Amino acid sequence: MKKIEIAPSILSADFCNLERDLKAIANADLVHVDVMDHHFVPNLTLGEPIVKRICEVTDLPVDVHLMIEDPDRWAPEYARLGASSVSFHMGAAHAPVRLARQLRDMGCKACFAVRPAEPVEPIFDILDEFDMILIMTVEPGFGGQKFLDNQMAKVRRLRDEITRRGLDTKIQVDGGVSPKTAHIVAEAGADVLVAGSAVYGADDRAAAIDSIREKAAAAYRD
């Protein structure tokens, strides 16, 4: 079966017991960290000092999702802190290709994020500059939102383009992913699944991760 990666989002974790909640997802593939600045999105989460400690404490690769203004300035800082991958948004970056190349030169994977109302086709010409494309299946800013299945057509178009060009670019889906929706996003072509409340709201976090991974792998569209 296809290698499916699960990235629990600590936005749904207990911030007063963050190290404990990081240890509870040891069977995941990535740790997804949402950085919000109360400007690009209407929420404020965490910043560099906490991301630095997360990188120091966890053995998992840290996947940072920047929902902030001026990622051209700040994305490299998160790479320096130890992030394995950094996503920034269409419309927020002034020079996305230059920023992607800078991140890659630093040994960090460069990822481009697309909100629900944004088309994916404008990035086709620069697709090979990115290691992963993040398709939001909720409006960015808050966890626990309802999954938008109308975004699957976008995922399919992106998967078709990646396959047509023989690229290794991964497709990440973030928003409303759970054991009930994992097969939907995987069938459309996503291979990296972000899950917040579906993992941290479960009594057994490890079992929730395994369930999402298994259902996605069984349904994956190559």
Active-site annotation, residues: 34, 174
Can you give the C-alpha Rg of the chain in angstroms? 16
Q: Is 89 annotated as a binding residue?
A: no
At 185, the amino acid letter reads V
Q: Is 211 annotated as a binding residue?
A: no
Q: Is 65 annotated as a binding residue?
A: yes
Token pair in block for residue 73? 């300035």
Q: Which residues contact 186 (CB under 8 A, 6 or more apart)?
A: 2, 4, 193, 215, 216, 217, 218, 219, 220, 221
Q: Is 91 annotated as a binding residue?
A: no
Q: Is 9 annotated as a binding residue?
A: yes
Q: Is 12 annotated as a binding residue?
A: no
Q: Is 141 annotated as a binding residue?
A: yes
**Rounded Cα–Cα distance for residues 166 and 20 (Å):** 40
The answer to whether the CB of 219 falls within 8 A of the CB of 182 is yes
Token pair in block for residue 165? 């060009």
Residues of 63-95 as b/e, b for ≥16 C-beta within 10 angstroms?
A: bbbbbbbebbebbbebbebbbbbbbbbbebbee
Q: Is 14 annotated as a binding residue?
A: no
The answer to whether the CB of 222 falls within 8 A of the CB of 34 is no
Q: Is 201 annotated as a binding residue?
A: no
Residue (of 6, 4, 1, 3) closest to 208 by Cα position:
6
Q: Is 174 annotated as a binding residue?
A: yes
User: Strand pairing partners for 63?
Assistant: 32, 85
Binding-site residue set for substrate: 9, 65, 141-144, 174-176, 196-197
Binding-site residue set for a divalent metal cation: 32, 34, 65, 174
Binding-site residue set: 9, 32, 34, 65, 141-144, 174-176, 196-197
